[in-house]
């Protein structure tokens, strides 16, 4: 499998090269030359397969010969060694809980897979690898955990000052060692712009070996397909589900759409956004009007210029039918909070703000399409969001992984949204 740049100006590369590069030199995103189709044999005994086996078979075509089957299977097994339950909330709506991993968020999957690939690919490299990542909430903690104390790898995390929750901040700022957290005076789009600028800086690349751990990196993006298959293993209906994905940077839903093109049954994808509604507006009008991001309760989705949507456009070009299988809606903070209260009161289920956006969008779609059923992605544990207790009075049960964080000191470094400041820090990491 080779990968091309969505800007069409960089050379085609292998999975290994795409992982190590992070982003093409022309500042596009890597995309596979072909989208594989899962065989009849894959589906024949699908319900009996282990999570590791499903992950291995789904991702193998994208890897080619860059990893041995033995190594790849081991990476897959370590990536998905926790639960992904599909929990029924109402008769027609289920929640795919993706918060049972190390940092209580769906991004544990991509971060764990990528960190293990990068560790393997870096064995023969003499220079230190620096991983740079921008986060609007959960990515930073997942990447920090995935790469913590890995020899030969330094991680630099950019996060917007005052715009992530307390638990999210603790997860990415309390580790130390090879993890450096930069608290940027700005928003997520500023952080993402700084990371992209660094990755495209040819002068910098002569001094440091730099790659990305955002979902712009194929090794972070592609494994997010796995849990859509785990959900379908637990799907009890004899018809395809409606899948609703809380969406900010659009890497998660893009992975689901990719899985669908490969053969995963799905009747429709709904991208549920917050007030940052660039993509819902684009799908309705055909005009992409980038705006400043707006701070919301669902802070991890506060993205005004979602990088991964260009990959969805690539899929649409290769499979025109997918255009009809996707829609996007915007949900206000007022409705988000109301949904959290109603779901807790009626069903005794604690939603985080992102899950609430997904639940509401799916519920409204099903109300207009009787007889259909679906599930939404509950992307992070409610304890990671300060607003949950304020809105409904509880986080639910406090996970053990969180309890010890509050006693640890914050080790972040404050910087302005100034590229030269970031560049100086990166050069010092060599």
pLDDT digits (tens, 9 = 90+) for 43-73: 999 999 999 999 999 999 999 999 999 999 9
- Checking DSSP bridges between strand 93-97 and strand 86-88, what pairing results, if any? antiparallel
Directed axis angle between helix 333-347 and helix 353-368, to 10°?
80
- Report whether pLDDT(390) > 90: yes
- Residue identified by tokens 């799908």 is 283
Q: In the predicted model, what is the mean pLDDT of residues 289-317?
A: 89
Q: Of the residues 2, 9, 74, 107, which is catalytic?
A: 107
273 φ, ψ (degrees, to nearest 5): -105, 170
CA 35 to chain centre: 20
Per-residue pLDDT, 112:
93
Is 107 catalytic? The answer is yes
d(CA 403, CA 320): 48
- pLDDT band of residue 320 (cuts 50, 70, 90) is low
424: three-class secondary structure by DSSP: helix
Angle at 202 between CA 196 and CA 203, to 5 degrees: 115
Query: Are 187 and 409 a contacting pair, CB within 8 Å?
Result: no
**CA distance to 105, 123, 242, 327, per residue, from 347 (Å):** 22, 50, 21, 27
- Checking DSSP bridges between strand 93-97 and strand 268-273, what pairing results, if any? unpaired
pLDDT digits (tens, 9 = 90+) for 202-227: 899 888 888 888 788 999 999 999 99
- CATH number (3.40.50.720, 1.10.10.10, 3.40.50.1100, 3.40.30.160) of 83-106+221-397 reads 3.40.50.1100
pTM, two decimals, is 0.89
Top pLDDT among 275 and 303 is at 275
* Neighbouring C-alpha atoms within 13 Å toward the C-beta of 406: 9
CB atoms within 10 A of CB 40: 8
Query: Are 113 and 79 a contacting pair, CB within 8 Å?
Result: yes
- Report whether pLDDT(376) > 70: yes
pLDDT digits (tens, 9 = 90+) for 95-154: 999 999 989 999 999 999 998 998 888 776 667 789 999 987 778 888 888 889 888 889
- Report whether pLDDT(4) > 70: yes
- The token pair at 179 is 């993890």
d(CA 336, CA 302): 14
d(CA 218, CA 88): 32
**CA distance to 40, 76, 113, per residue, from 221 (Å):** 25, 14, 10
Top pLDDT among 319 and 345 is at 345
Query: Are 355 and 383 a contacting pair, CB within 8 Å?
Result: no
Per-residue pLDDT, 30:
97
d(CA 171, CA 173): 6
């Amino acid at each position: 499998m080779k990968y091309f740049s969505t800007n069409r100006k960089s050379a085609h590369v292998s999975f290994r090269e795409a992982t190590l590069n992070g982003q093409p030199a022309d500042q596009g995103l890597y995309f596979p030359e072909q989208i594989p189709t899962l065989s009849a044999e894959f589906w024949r005994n699908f319900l009996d397969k282990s999570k590791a086996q499903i992950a291995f078979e789904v991702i193998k075509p994208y890897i080619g010969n860059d990893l041995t089957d033995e190594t790849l299977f081991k990476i897959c097994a370590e990536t998905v060694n926790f639960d992904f339950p599909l929990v029924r909330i109402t008769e027609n709506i289920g929640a795919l809980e993706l918060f049972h991993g190390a940092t209580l968020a769906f991004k544990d999957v991509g971060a764990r897979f990528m960190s293990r690939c990068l560790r393997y690919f870096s064995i023969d490299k003499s220079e230190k690898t620096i991983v740079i990542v921008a986060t609007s909430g959960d990515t930073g903690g997942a990447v920090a955990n995935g790469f913590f104390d890995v020899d030969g790898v330094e991680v630099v995390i950019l996060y917007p000052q005052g715009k992530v929750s307390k638990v999210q901040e603790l997860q990415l700022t309390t580790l130390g060692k090879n993890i450096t957290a930069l608290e940027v005076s700005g928003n997520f789009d500023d952080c993402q712009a700084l990371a992209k600028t660094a990755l495209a800086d040819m002068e910098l690349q002569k001094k440091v070996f730099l790659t990305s751990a955002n979902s712009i990196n194929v090794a972070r993006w592609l494994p997010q397909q796995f849990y859509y298959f785990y959900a379908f293993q637990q799907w009890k209906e004899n018809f395809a589900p409606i899948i609703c994905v809380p969406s900010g940077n659009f890497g998660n839903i893009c992975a689901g759409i990719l899985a669908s093109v490969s053969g995963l049954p799905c009747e429709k994808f709904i991208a549920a956004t917050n007030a940052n509604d660039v993509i819902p507006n684009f799908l309705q009008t055909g005009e992409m009007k980038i705006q400043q991001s707006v701070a919301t309760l669902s802070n991890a989705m506060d993205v005004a210029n979602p990088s991964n949507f260009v990959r969805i456009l690539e899929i649409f070009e290769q499979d025109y039918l997918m255009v009809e299988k996707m829609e996007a809606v915007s949900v206000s903070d007022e409705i988000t909070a109301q949904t959290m209260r109603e779901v807790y009161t009626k069903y005794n289920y604690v939603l985080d703000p992102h899950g609430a956006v997904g639940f509401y969008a799916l519920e409204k779609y099903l109300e207009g399409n009787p007889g259909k059923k679906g599930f939404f992605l509950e992307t992070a544990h409610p304890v990671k969001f300060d607003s949950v207790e304020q809105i409904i009075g509880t986080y639910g049960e406090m996970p053990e992984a969180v309890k010890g964080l509050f006693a640890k000191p914050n080790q972040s470094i404050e910087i302005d949204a100034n590229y030269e400041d970031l560049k100086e820090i990166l050069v010092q990491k060599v």
